[in-house]
């Protein structure tokens, strides 16, 4: 009718298609964040415990993906994951069937994890580096095994970094547009892509 009001917002949250896209966007964000935590924590731990030249090399390896434009990275993943890309060429050479890694959630998730993993690693590593190592040593002296030291001392004290990295990664994942558009097309509909359309 051309009038002002909140009717359009009510229509969005009452439409099954919009609700599906919102749910897909949130699930995608949670999946990327969870994978980044699982892959990022060991890398962050190694980075926090590294010394000298090894630390510099690790930082360089972790930060290098951020130096490449997101469009270039996405095209790179298209070359790797495509039907005749590097992965499928390797599978065919081994006599194995090809995998469908493009224009679905698998390919988009792989690319987004690559894009966002450095944010998670740096967030967790910064927390681990400020951790007082004497607390871990005290637990070990009191008879705790290395796994118990990790579960009861290191992990709880590094939760702040995990939460910070999780918020950053989740926010960037649900707001991503270029990678989803190039690697997923319309088969992986998320809210930013729907807004663009």
* In the predicted structure, residue 144 carries a pLDDT above the cut 80: yes
Q: How far apart are alpha carbons 117 and 40 in whole angstroms?
A: 6
pTM of the complete model: 0.88
- Per-residue pLDDT, 6: 81
What's the rounded mean pLDDT across residues 9-15?
83
- Per-residue pLDDT, 123: 95
Closest of 131, 108, 121, 104 to residue 179, by C-alpha: 108
| Angle at 28 (CA atoms; ends 112, 44), nearest 5 degrees | 50
- Per-residue pLDDT, 196: 87
pLDDT in tens, 96-130: 888 888 888 999 999 999 999 999 999 999 999 99
- Per-residue pLDDT, 197: 85
User: CA dist 69 to 97, 123, 166, Å?
Assistant: 32, 21, 22
Quote the DSSP letter at residue 50: -
């Amino acid at each position: 009718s051309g009038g002002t009001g909140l009717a359009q917002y009510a229509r969005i949250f009452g439409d099954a298609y919009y609700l599906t896209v919102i749910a897909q966007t949130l699930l995608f964000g949670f999946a990327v964040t969870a994978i980044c935590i699982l892959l990022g924590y060991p890398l962050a731990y190694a980075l926090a415990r590294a010394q000298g030249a090894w630390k510099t090399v690790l930082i360089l390896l972790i930060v290098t993906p951020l130096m490449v434009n997101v469009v270039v990275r996405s095209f790179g993943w298209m070359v790797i994951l495509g039907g005749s890309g590097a992965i499928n060429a390797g599978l065919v050479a081994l006599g194995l069937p090809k995998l469908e890694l493009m224009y679905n959630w698998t390919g988009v998730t792989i690319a987004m994890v690559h894009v966002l993993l450095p944010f998670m690693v740096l967030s967790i590593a910064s927390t681990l580096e400020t951790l007082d190592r004497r607390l871990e040593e005290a637990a070990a002296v009191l008879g705790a095994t290395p796994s118990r030291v990790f579960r009861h001392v290191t992990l709880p004290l590094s939760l702040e970094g995990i939460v910070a990295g999780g918020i950053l990664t989740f926010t960037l994942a649900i707001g991503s547009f270029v990678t989803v558009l190039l690697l997923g097309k319309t088969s992986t509909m998320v809210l930013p892509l729907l807004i663009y359309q």
